[in-house]
Chains A and B, each alone.
Chain A
Amino acid sequence: MGRLAWYARVFLIFLRNSLVRDMTFRANFIIDTISSMSWVFMNLGFYILIFEYTDRIGTVADWDPGWGRDQFFLFLATTLLINSLIRGLFLSNAVEFSEQIRTGTLDFALLKPIDTQFLISLGRIEWSAIGPFSCGVALMAYSLFQVHYVPGPMQAALFLFYLFCGVAIYYSLMIAMAATAVWLGRNKTLLDFWFYITNFSRYPMEIYKGPWGNPLRWAFTFFVPVLIAVNVPARLLVRPLDPENPEDWLLLPFAVFATLGSLAVSRWIFNRSLLSYRSASS
């Protein structure tokens, strides 16, 4: 427990230092926040446009209401929350990690008396991600109001738990890909690959159907579980758990399993990469 509290204290110091750094260049911080928010608004505009032409997407059968506009906006809000947490906490660190491997400055991180993955993953926090995060919260509040639904405490707790699982799955994929820079020298393309893969999880998993869609859905659920990341928490908000539906009960424990599995695999890849690291400097 003492060690956990110590790590929590270090994390708070990271938070504080990054805030001080962001506030030193205040204008840059404001511009960063506004630009990331405008990106959110542009995306929102696109989906508003789409729902001008249809009233639902992702229906599996005629009786299935699928995802209506407000239900999809709840999904979008969940995506925004997960993405902004990833961007704020880990993205610049993962990019920096690849660079540290390439330039040899990882030596300094290895010398510190702290878990290297913890230091590498959270050293620099991007406070400007608070912009899209608040957009996510606002969109969620608006959509819940539109569907006249107030989640109970149990549902809210489950939502937060699975939101955390989603963040952990995304993070695992990102840090594992960044770590491959040890073997590849440079991996800008691989980090792009992370964006392209997580692009699949921006939509409800039901839209992937048919001879091409089904294998894709299976691959991104069971092999690289990115579809789980947003779909499970969003689903918990859109409709209450149905005890009759086996999928509801299977997906929830599977999401926990997928999260733990992703974290374990990424930790293994990270440690393996450190063993292969040969310091480019000195």
Chain B
Amino acid sequence: MLFRLATGWTVLKISFEERLIYRGDFALGTLMRFLPIVTQIFLWRAVFYGADRPEGQIAGYTCDTIIGYYLLTMISRAFSSMPGLASGIARDIRDGTVKKFLIQPIDMVSFLLINRVAHKLVYYLVAVGPFALVFYLFRDFFPGWPDGFTMLAYLASLVMAFLLGFFLEATLGMIGFWFLEVSSLFFVYMLFSFFFSGHMFPIDLLPDKLEFLVRLMPLHYLAYFPAAVFLGRISGPDLIQGLWIQFAWVVFFLVASRTAFHFGVRRYSGFGG
């Protein structure tokens, strides 16, 4: 146990330092990722003005809260997005790099998880500046700080969004054990995730039937759910229930990724040296 912890700590330290190398590029990239938000602000302003209700509401959102929503989904995505995880696993399977996990005393899923934690920690360390600046500039778009309990629930939903994003993409990557080329499958996932996670628009704007279907899927826990919790759109028993369902999805994909790896390595065959 102690040995495992020590290994994990070493992996975390190395990954952390590795990722701090390009911090300048990282910070600039983070700041630029807010640029599309600027167009969203003008678009939604135009929608509210076009609908002749600049002070009114659309699906329960005011012009300000919908912009606040977009900014909050940036935070959700900072936790749940896992660039290159699924494709990296599939590539390692295809080119045989995965065999190092079969012969070395380290578990692949845990290794990748620690790696990802390091990546995210560096990301938050560098991104906190650009995020603070943008949120300060746009502070008027938020209704104010939520109460302590909602804040705790929000933080829990963010941590679970990270775990859900990780295990979901890890499970997807494991499909590489069965199919050689999975990039188009990842593209479809990316497309669905962008549309139904709430990243592109709040899912409560969807027509009722479609919204019901989207709520059955795990994707909206990656972006919509934490943002809606912060804005107080989900509260009381719905909030507790939502957190439990999010937790259940995390457990489901944790088991799914481990099972896929377990059966995947039995199919795997490596050739050459």
Query: Residues of A at under 8 Å CB distance from B?
Result: 31, 35, 38-39, 42, 45-46, 49-50, 52-59, 66, 189, 192-193, 196-197, 199-200, 202-203, 206-208, 210, 213, 216
Please give me the residue from chain A that is nearest to B44 by CB atom. A50
Whether A203 touches B191, Cβ cut-off 8 Å, given contacts A46-B201, A54-B51, A189-B29, is: no
Contact string, B35-69, partner A, CB cutoff 8 A, digits 1/0? 11011001101111111000000110000000000
Contacting residues, chain A, for B29 (C-beta < 8 A): 189, 192
Question: How distant is the Cα of A216 from the Cα of B184 in the complex, in angstroms?
Answer: 37
Contacting residues, chain B, for A200 (C-beta < 8 A): 38-39
Is residue B25 within 8 Å, beta carbon to beta carbon, of the partner chain? yes
Question: How distant is the Cα of A117 from the Cα of B3 in the complex, in angstroms?
Answer: 58
Contacting residues, chain B, for A56 (C-beta < 8 A): 50
Query: Residues of B at under 8 Å CB distance from A?
Result: 25, 28-29, 32, 35-36, 38-39, 42-43, 45-51, 58-59, 184, 187-188, 191, 194-195, 200-201, 205-207
Q: What is the distance, in angstroms, from A132's C-beta to the closest C-beta of chain B?
A: 14
Which of B59, B205, B207 has the most CB atoms of chain A within a 10 A radius of its CB? B205
Whether A31 touches B39, Cβ cut-off 8 Å, given contacts A55-B50, A58-B50, is: no
Q: B42 contacts which of A45, A50, A197, A207 (Cβ < 8 Å)? A: A207
Residue contacts A-B, CB under 8 angstroms, 21 given: A35-B184, A38-B191, A42-B194, A42-B195, A46-B200, A49-B206, A50-B47, A55-B51, A56-B50, A57-B43, A58-B46, A58-B50, A189-B28, A197-B35, A199-B35, A202-B39, A203-B39, A203-B46, A207-B42, A208-B42, A213-B42
Question: How distant is the Cα of A99 from the Cα of B59 in the complex, in angstroms?
Answer: 46
Question: How distant is the Cα of A66 from the Cα of B47 in the complex, in angstroms?
Answer: 11
Contacting residues, chain A, for B28 (C-beta < 8 A): 189
Question: Once the chains bind, are A53 and B43 in contact (CB under 8 Å)?
Answer: no
Which of A38, A53, A55, A199 has the most CB atoms of chain B within a 10 A radius of its CB? A53
Secondary structure call for the B interface: helix
Contacting residues, chain B, for A52 (C-beta < 8 A): 205, 207
Whether A53 touches B39, Cβ cut-off 8 Å, given contacts A39-B191, A189-B25, is: no
- Give 7 nearest A-B pairs by CB, closest first: A54-B51, A57-B46, A54-B50, A207-B46, A196-B35, A56-B50, A31-B184
Q: What is the distance, in angstroms, from B256's C-beta to the closest C-beta of chain A?
A: 25
Contacting residues, chain B, for A46 (C-beta < 8 A): 195, 200-201
Q: What is the distance, in angstroms, from A216's C-beta to the closest C-beta of chain B?
A: 8
Which of A46, A54, A66 has the most CB atoms of chain B within a 10 A radius of its CB? A54
Contacting residues, chain B, for A196 (C-beta < 8 A): 32, 35-36
Whether A49 touches B205, Cβ cut-off 8 Å, given contacts A199-B36, A207-B42, is: yes
Contacting residues, chain A, for B205 (C-beta < 8 A): 49, 52-53
Q: What is the distance, in angstroms, from A256's C-beta to the closest C-beta of chain B?
A: 26
Question: Once the chains bind, are A53 and B59 in contact (CB under 8 Å)?
Answer: yes
